[in-house]
Amino acid sequence: MRKTGFVFEEIPINSAFSIEVPSKLLSKNALLDFLGNGLHFPDYFGGNWDAFEECIRDLSWLKEHNIVIRHLDLPLENEPPSARIYLSILNDVIGKFKANSLHNLIVAFPTQYMEKIEMLIFD
């Protein structure tokens, strides 16, 4: 079975930039609004998947090296196609950041979502 780049455990945070994605974000607009504000996306952020991918791949405006996005549940769980897009973008970006040391992006989910997340990304 293939593995994601996500963390499924509690993350100790030491001088990291961290946001906690609240539970019950069930619409793409609510999720992208929250992330755009929480990660201080530039004003040109368009609130769509392409704009999210562009901004999350950059993050140059954040001076902290370690960036943590913690989820309290699985956003968009009720919209599997949108959840798949969201998770795939994040998983790809984690791999990009590991290859490039400007930022270290850690994306965490509760353990009980691991199997569902892996299924959404790899099936």
Give one DSSP letter per residue of 19-71, joined into a string: EEEPS---SHHHHHHHHHHHTT--TT--SSHHHHHHHHTT-TT---SEEEEEE
pLDDT of residue 101: 63
pTM listed for this prediction: 0.91
The full set of domains in the chain, from first to last, is 17-122 (3.30.370.10)
pLDDT of residue 14: 65
pLDDT of residue 99: 64
Which portions of the chain are predicted below pLDDT 50? none
pLDDT of residue 100: 64
